[in-house]
Structure formats: C-alpha cells, structure tokens
C-alpha cells in the first residue's frame, strides 16, 4: 500500500472564522508552556477580534495552522499569531502561510512586514530568516523586552 499524501490548502478569511480562535488557543497553550507567567505580559498585544486579514491552513480539510497581519501604518503591517499544530510541522505549511500573508499585504499596498517572536522559538526564528526577515531593534510595545526578537522584511 502506498501512503496517502496530505492535501494542504490555505484560506484567506477573518477572525470570525471559528477555526481561527481554535488554533490561537492551541498557540496560546504552547506559549504558556514555553514562557510561563511571562506570556501574560504578551497576551495583551495579541487580540484576535476584528481582524480582516487571517489565513488558515488546512491539511485534508482539518485546520492545521493560522496567521494574520495588522496594519501598523500606511506602509507597514505586523505579522501576528503564526502557528502550525505540532503534528503538521516540517511540511512547509508555515512558510506557505507566511508567503500568503505577504502577498495579501502587498496586494493591499503595504511595503514592509514586521514581526515579533520569542527568543525560545528557534524554529520560528529560522523560518523567518529563511523567508528573508532580518533582525531589527525591538519596536513599540516590545522595547526593553529581552525575550522578544523583532524582525522586518521589505515586501
């Protein structure tokens, strides 16, 4: 018998899509396990309501990952809430979702993408570097936060 390959699709949607809060809850659980009480400081910056720019990845029609972006100014967006279920990782889903978010932001007239990730998330940092993001000084609410790594890319 030959193994069945998974069919992966990415959908553009918004924060009203029920699969988005489901995946974000899994992300939040993982981050709390990784960072403990420190995560509560970051939680206030990760609201997931009224977002019109959400992507959800599906493997065989089952929600596998998510991400979104928020407008920072007329030229810049911030990539937020990037997550892929552990059992679906290392299949190119995250890089595909990130690419879709970048294309969408560019279609909407933005020129730059910023993001913040944690210093314990080596796989995420490597993914962003592979996608062309470079480390920048911490910005905005992340100023002075030693566990934050901020990055930027021209779209």
Segment 86-143, tens digit of pLDDT:
999 999 999 999 999 999 999 999 999 999 999 889 999 999 999 999 999 999 888 9
Looking at the chain, the whole-number percentage of residues with pLDDT higher than 70 is 88
Predicted confidence band of residue 47 (pLDDT cuts 50, 70, 90): low
Tell me the fold of 8-154: Aminopeptidase (3.40.630)
pLDDT(42) > 60: no
What rounded mean pLDDT belongs to the chain?
90
**Does the pLDDT at position 83 exceed 60?**
yes
With beta carbons less than 8 A apart as the criterion, state whether 124 and 84 touch: no
pTM: 0.90
Average pLDDT estimate for 23-51: 73
In a 3-state reduction of DSSP, which class is residue 52? Answer: coil
Length of the chain (residues):
155
CA 82 → CA 46, 99, 144, distances in Å? 11, 12, 23
151 beta partners: 115, 135
């Amino acid at each position: 018998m030959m193994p069945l390959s998974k069919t992966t699709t990415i959908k553009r949607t918004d924060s009203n899509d029920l699969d988005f809060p489901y995946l974000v809850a899994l992300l939040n659980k993982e981050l709390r396990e990784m960072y403990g009480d420190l995560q509560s400081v970051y939680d206030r910056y990760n609201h997931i309501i009224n977002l019109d720019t959400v992507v959800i990845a599906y493997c065989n029609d089952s929600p596998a990952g998510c991400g979104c972006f928020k407008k920072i100014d007329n030229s810049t967006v911030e990539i937020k809430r990037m997550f892929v279920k552990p059992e679906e990782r290392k299949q190119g889903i995250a890089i595909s979702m990130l690419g879709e978010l970048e294309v969408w932001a560019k279609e909407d007239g933005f020129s730059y993408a910023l993001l913040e990730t944690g210093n314990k998330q080596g796989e995420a940092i490597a993914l962003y570097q592979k996608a062309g993001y470079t480390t920048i000084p911490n910005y905005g609410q992340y100023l002075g936060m030693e566990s934050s790594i901020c990055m930027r890319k021209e779209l």
